[in-house]
Amino acid sequence: MSLVTDSPVHSSSSDDFAAFLDTELDSKSSASSASDDEAPNQRHSDSAASSSPDQDKEAEEDDDSDFQSKRVKRSKVETVEIVEDDGGATSFASVKHNSEASISKEICTHPGSFGTMCIVCGQLLDGESGVTFGYIHKGLRLGNDEIVRLRNTDMKNLLRHKKLYLILDLDHTLLNSTQLMHMTLDEEYLNGRTDSLQDVSKGSLFMLSSMQMMTKLRPFVRTFLKEASQMFEMYIYTMGDRAYALEMAKLLDPGREYFNAKVISRDDGTQRHQKGLDVVLGQESAVLILDDTENAWMKHKDNLILMERYHFFASSCHQFGFNCKSLSEQKTDESESEGALASILKVLTKIHQIFFEEVEENMDGRDVRQVLKTVRKDVLKGCKIVFSRVFPTQSQADNHHLWRMAEQLGASCSTELDPSVTHVVSKDSGTEKSHWALKHNKFLVQPGWIEAANYFWQRQPEENFSVNQIKN
């Protein structure tokens, strides 16, 4: 069953799946619940044509068995083919099943189900297989072969429009939320500064009384979503529950231009406390992920762009053990033009450009994960780093996360000093290696210099991360 459209605006299988299934099931449900006074041929006729003898016969059989009626309704969810018009866009075309049930059973491979009923032929199925896609349509489960087919079709579809997939985390990536009960005295002023929920497209701070929550959108997020949507088919993927995910989607995308049905919550995942691309109808080789939590994507770290966390509210700082004033308590915020989202948009644009440059005909073998590695390695290219008292002496230096991070960013790391060393990373200016750096006019920087480069995907000014020198 082909369930993909080729709209350059909404080209994702999941959006079309939801819309198509809603329309088909609603129309069948409406037809079956028509007035008893209505003639059988009217009850089962197409809107554009009168009934046939075969349809009259089908109506009589439906009247004989309520169960059979429900089954026929589901079996009428018609197979869909892709039809391409002269302009290159594709649309749904309905192809009815053969009227002979025996033929239908022979050819149906049961690509998916609602509960225990095949979405194509209506047959009751034993057991469960495949993956549940409840965020697309409640009760929908797709078989592995159908998932592969849909991904392949949608991939070709997107590549023709020079688009990739972008998975977006919510909390600390696109926004920050807090329970009202957790707000501090220094944050009480925010109660008088919230924006109207009547037109959320013009606001950034919202009071959600029904959820006893306040939400702050990250600066630049609306521009980010608008520009990213030109390059990517976007999903929301959060560890929050479904009700929260949908409420946040309304704030971020009130016109349903970007996400539509593509909102995945923890209720939709297949592993507890983990996020996975198994519930995304996109090829892994074309997926990028923005998230502030690396450990949430243990199987997909090569797709991940780690985001600097957005701590607007005090409760967010406390959650991660920071004993400092939050942005709200300081009555400030991230920069629109130089903040995390503005920086990452530049990275995404560069990755997209490299992925599609000079490749017009054959996209086979292209992998965005390789492009991601290439772009990342340019950040600290040409830097040679020696660490001083950053990690325990007995530990394996090249296993430390800062060492690995620096190498992923293109730097080379060493335990020994030599003239080719460009940076000494330390928290203490009194170490022997720190003295050497100062004596030989090398950069002496704090570990945060590497972390900042990792978050912003560009080498940061060393003077902003200088190590305080001990005064004699």
- pLDDT mean over 91-115: 56
Q: Which residue has the higher pLDDT, 366 or 351?
A: 351
Give the pLDDT confidence score for residue 70 in this predicted structure. Answer: 42
pLDDT confidence of residue 397: 87
Please say if the pLDDT value at position 9 is more than 60. no
Averaged pLDDT for residues 330-354: 96
Percent of the chain clearing pLDDT 70 (strictly above): 76
pLDDT band for position 1 (cuts 50, 70, 90): very low
How far, in Å, CA of 30 to CA of 58, rounded? 17
82-91 pLDDT, tens digit per residue, is 333 333 333 3
Tell me how far apart the alpha carbons of residues 25 and 418 are, in angstroms, rounded to a whole number: 72
The burial of 36, by beta-carbon neighbours within 10 Å (0-12 exposed, 13-18 middle, 19 or more buried), is given as: exposed
Largest CA distance in the chain: 103
- The amino acid sitting at 12 is S
pLDDT band for position 39 (50/70/90)?
Answer: very low
Condensed to tens digits (0 to 9), the pLDDT of residues 248-289 reads 999 999 999 999 999 999 999 998 899 999 999 999 999 999
Least confident among 9-23, 80-94, 144-158, 355-369: 80-94
State residue 451's pLDDT score.
Answer: 96
- Predicted confidence at residue 391, as pLDDT, reads 87
* Sheet containing 304-306, strands listed edge to edge, beginning at the edge strand earlier in sequence: 263-264, 232-237, 164-168, 287-291, 304-306
Tokens of 245: 């995910």
Residue 197 has pLDDT above 90, yes or no: yes
Q: Which residue has the higher pLDDT, 386 or 119?
A: 386
pLDDT at 353 over 50: yes
Share of the chain above pLDDT 90, in %: 66
Average pLDDT over residues 389-403: 88
Mean pLDDT of 301-308: 96
pLDDT score recorded for residue 378:
97
What's residue 89's pLDDT? 34
- The whole-number average pLDDT for the span 38-67 is 41
Q: Name the pLDDT band for 43 (thresholds 50, 70, 90).
A: very low
Q: What's the chain's average pLDDT?
A: 82
pLDDT at 83: 39
Taking the CA atoms of 52, 53, 57 and 59 in sequence, report the sign of the dihedral they define.
positive
Question: What pLDDT is recorded for position 306?
Answer: 96
Per the model's pLDDT, the better-predicted residue between 98 and 161 turns out to be: 161
In three-state form (DSSP H/G/I as H, E/B as E, the rest C), the secondary structure along the chain is CCCCCCCCCCCCHHHHHHHHHHHHHHHHHHHHCCCCCCCHHHHCCCCCCCCCHHHHHHHHHHHHCHHHHHHHHHHCCCEEEEEECCCCCEEEEEECCCCCHHHHHHHCCCCEEECCEECCCCCECCCCCCEECCCCCCCEEECHHHHHHHHHHHHHHHHHCCCEEEEECCECCCEEEEEHHHCCHHHHHHHHCCCCCCCHHHCCEEEEHHHCEEEEECCCHHHHHHHHCCCEEEEEECCCCHHHHHHHHHHHCCCCCCCCCCEECHHHCCCCCCCCHHHCCCCHHHEEEEECCHHHHCCCHHHEEECCCCCCCHHHHHHCCCCCCCCCCCCCCCCCCCCHHHHHHHHHHHHHHHHHCCCCCCCCCCCHHHHHHHHHHCCCCCCEEEEECCCCCCCCHHHCHHHHHHHHCCCEEECCCCCCCCEEEECCCCCHHHHHHHHCCCEEECCHHHHHHHHHCCCCCHHHHECCCCCC
Condensed to tens digits (0 to 9), the pLDDT of residues 60-76 reads 444 444 434 444 344 44
Give me the long-range contacts of 150-155 (CB less than 8 A, separation at least 24).
150/2, 150/3, 150/4, 150/13, 150/281, 151/13, 151/281, 151/282, 151/283, 152/283, 153/2, 153/4, 153/13, 153/82, 154/4, 154/11, 154/12, 154/13, 154/281, 154/282, 155/282, 155/283, 155/286
Reported as a single tens digit per residue, the pLDDT across 107-151 is 888 999 988 899 898 889 887 778 999 999 989 999 999 999 999
Q: 286-290, 292-296, 468-472 — which is least confidently predicted?
A: 468-472
Q: What is the pLDDT of residue 28?
A: 45
In contact, 188 and 311? CB cutoff 8 Å: no
Comparing 39 with 365, which gets the higher pLDDT?
Answer: 365
Measured CA to CA in angstroms, residue 14 lies from 3, 79, 187 at distances of 8, 16, 40
Is residue 362 very low, low, confident or very high in pLDDT (cuts 50, 70, 90)? low
pLDDT band, very low/low/confident/very high, at 80 (cuts 50, 70, 90):
very low
- Tell me whether residue 242 is exposed, middle or buried, using C-beta atoms within 10 angstroms of its C-beta: 0 to 12, 13 to 18, 19 or more: middle
- Poorest-confidence range of 43-57, 120-134, 393-407? 43-57
Q: Note whether 258 and 234 are within 8 A (CB).
A: yes
